[in-house]
Structure 1
């Protein structure tokens, strides 16, 4: 019976096809009022916006967006057992990845411009940094049906309770 399971999983979608699901930009991107409020607040406002786009549709993948405001950065983070692909939609920035050697080593810097992709292996600490004057928009596609995001207190640090408020 166990040998039939893979066969059933392959055939079932052909017999009972699933429907297409669409997530509209208006559902996930900041509204004009949110943008105006952020502009009024200035640098003390939210500097990184993370929103889920497609989650819980399959157990194999999910996607979210990350908007890094000008001259700001995300916390140092990892995605647990999930692998991730990051696609740069607009703006420019850097993905810093965990130093490979001593604690004093500088993180590796990977510059991303619109159209560039970055692969983040499971458990790899990284940080999104925007040193430009415009928003940096990223699409993040992860293995697994729901995003895992573990914010850290720093490179090799403990899980942060503060960073989760971003």
Structure 2
């Protein structure tokens, strides 16, 4: 009987698959409404927004939506042990990274790759990167799919630099 246990565990998901989960656009961490014309608010405007889409549904992957407002940038960061695939939904952005992680020279300039609507990018685990939106008037919307049940983001003070805050896992 014990010899059948590994076979049963391998076949079991096919016999009783888990439930389907749908995240509606209206349910993905809705943003606070914009103020009406002439209305003032003390609420600061976020320039970089990470919205959870599919989190903690499986131990193998998760998905978020990254929104970068015009003339804004993310922190320099890496995703720890998580690989990531990015899909550009709208807008045009710049993905930056340093090609050689061994020692980063201060004068070393990051590689730049323009990512446009419909493009995909792969970011391997531990690769430092940054996203820029150099547009004057268009938001950048990217879907980010990572290995692991919830996204891990490690913000850095500078390229090849110290960790800004402890790693965040949502």
| TM-score, structure 2 normalization | 0.83
The count of residues paired between Structure 1 and Structure 2 equals 159
Q: Deviations over 1:83-129 (max 9, x none)?
A: 00011000001110124263311101011001000100100000010
1:129 corresponds to 2:132? yes
Q: Aligned residue for 2:113?
A: 110
Give the C-alpha shift of residue 156 in structure 1.
1.1
Q: Deviations over 1:43-99 (max 9, x none)?
A: x62100001111111111111110000000000000000000011000001110124
Q: Which runs of 5+ in 2 are unaligned?
A: none
| TM-score, structure 1 normalization | 0.85
Write the distance in 2 (CA, Å) between the matches of 1:84 and 1:144: 10
Counterparts in 2 of 1:110 and 1:155: CA distance versus 1, 3 Å: same
Write the distance in 1 (CA, Å) between the matches of 2:3 and 2:155: 39
Q: Which of the two has greater helix per residue?
A: 1
User: Pairwise mapping of residues 1-166 of structure 1 onto structure 2 (< 5 A)?
Assistant: 1=2, 4-5=5-6, 7-28=7-28, 30-31=30-31, 33=33, 35-36=34-35, 45-100=45-100, 102-132=105-135, 133-161=137-165
